Structure 1
């Protein structure tokens, strides 16, 4: 689960961006003593992610605002479901509303999209994973949302694992460096806990990569037939990851080729925010 150490800096920055000198409209239109009672309501079916992020937006605006969740991250819900109750000073609730909604809508959109792909590959043994194609500054939150949708996370950053992609291999070729030898040299420099993954785009690259002792091999933009052949060729010697233009329509066929992992950058880089609203009542 997300921690306050991950959530609060992101939300604090978003609140400062949205109201750098306070909410001018709330200050001049709303009485100082007015109270608000609001509900987070789903306008469409989905999967919840970011309820603690929503809470933080109100808490960091005014510590007296109370957020009472009615659902937990990872829960599915139909349209019309009340997901949380919010009560507190009307000025604070209105000021935090947009930041709270922007974040929980985006995270729930990611969780919902992930769940669609996870459900599509159910029973195949393949797992859905994200990529580093996340919104700058929001990676921890967006990857949490992927987990809420039933997916798993790829390496979190460039510092976590070795992943040689097409541009790395192009440099090796230009320098006349043997791929297998390069992988073996990399392994000598790493601790025993660090994995090595190499991306390939042709079947004839598989054996040289496996000869280097990689942990994971990514078959990038392979046809379905070549994915099947690639899985057979690897024959359990490494984890096989499929990547490249994964859609709701194609993901099940990709999974049935026998790959272990299916990565999709679209889970985070082009997802549609889920339609959630804040229905509010204000009293003296």
Structure 2
């Protein structure tokens, strides 16, 4: 497996602090202040309650330290680690009020991101041995894209483009406005720099053929997305392309269909569900 890309704290801290501010509200943690002596100490562990893949461990660390900079945070399992029920991800010790104030924010982010990583791993395992890679999409939670895409990587998936600015992706509405595949791709190629990839989404074999016709001119897309193709048409698209262009399948993908899609011979399968439909992984904070 490719070594995990790590995110620097400077990228994560604003997200964690915004989440803490949302939870603390206008008056602070009134429950902790009412019930917990100001000098009380707490030692606790973040434990997995279900099997999965860890992601977002830095979020728990930063949430705890934002509330108690003097707290001890011992990370025992890093992002990408396989979790079994009862596995201790981290142990913390510090001011009880501060740790309890940080608890929900830390668990929300850790559980959400670990859920994304866990679902991604299920898709990766479903296509094991086919040579196909599983990729995410831009269907991410607003404000959490960098973290959710990192979580996809933790689960063994690939990151598609991060935003509208890092690759050209010509979709059906772009094609419609431009007046066709040929015009859209030519316009994109005229604008793209030498480091910018061009991807074209096609909704049928006729559009695929129009894109392939541009190969001899050196204007064909780098990647062609076969959107909502049947299995038969995916296989035919692979046959017609003959390895000359990277083919990405999308649409109609779930854990019951992804293996059959992979076996058609496409190179990449993009799955919006990795980020928009991943269930939160059950993780808790237990005093010890």
Scaled to the shorter chain, the TM-score interval is over 0.9
Q: Is it true that 1:102 corresponds to 2:104 in the alignment?
A: no
Q: Residue 14 of structure 1 is aligned with which of 4, 9, 19?
A: 19
Q: CA RMSD in A?
A: 1.0
Q: Which segments of 5 or more consecutive residues in structure 2 lack a partner in the other structure?
A: 1-5
Matches within 5 A, 1:1-284: 1-20=6-25, 21-172=27-178, 177-210=179-212, 211=214, 212-281=219-288
Query: 1:126 Cα deviation (Å)?
Result: 0.4
Give distance in 2, aligned partners of 1:108 and 1:261: 23
Q: Is the 8 A contact 1:164 1:197 kept in 2?
A: yes
Give distance in 1, aligned partners of 2:15 and 2:238: 41
Give distance in 1, aligned partners of 2:24 and 2:48: 26
Which is worse superposed, 179-188 or 33-42? 179-188
Q: Is the 8 A contact 2:174 2:184 kept in 1?
A: no
Alignment length (residue pairs): 277
Distance 1:178 1:201, change over 3 A: closer
SS of structure 2 residue aligned to 1:134? coil
Query: 1:155 Cα deviation (Å)?
Result: 0.3
Which is worse superposed, 91-100 or 178-187? 178-187
Which is worse superposed, 262-271 or 163-172? 163-172
SS of structure 2 residue aligned to 1:199? strand
Query: 1:82 Cα deviation (Å)?
Result: 1.2
Runs of 4+ in 1 over 2 A off after TM superposition: none
SS of structure 1 residue aligned to 2:193? coil
Q: Is the 8 A contact 1:65 1:92 kept in 2?
A: no
TM-score, normalization: structure 2?
0.94
TM-score, normalization: structure 1?
0.95
SS of structure 1 residue aligned to 2:200? strand
Query: 1:80 Cα deviation (Å)?
Result: 1.2
Query: 1:64 Cα deviation (Å)?
Result: 1.2
Q: Which segments of 5 or more consecutive residues in structure 1 lack a partner in the other structure?
A: none
Give the match for residue 3 of structure 2. Answer: none
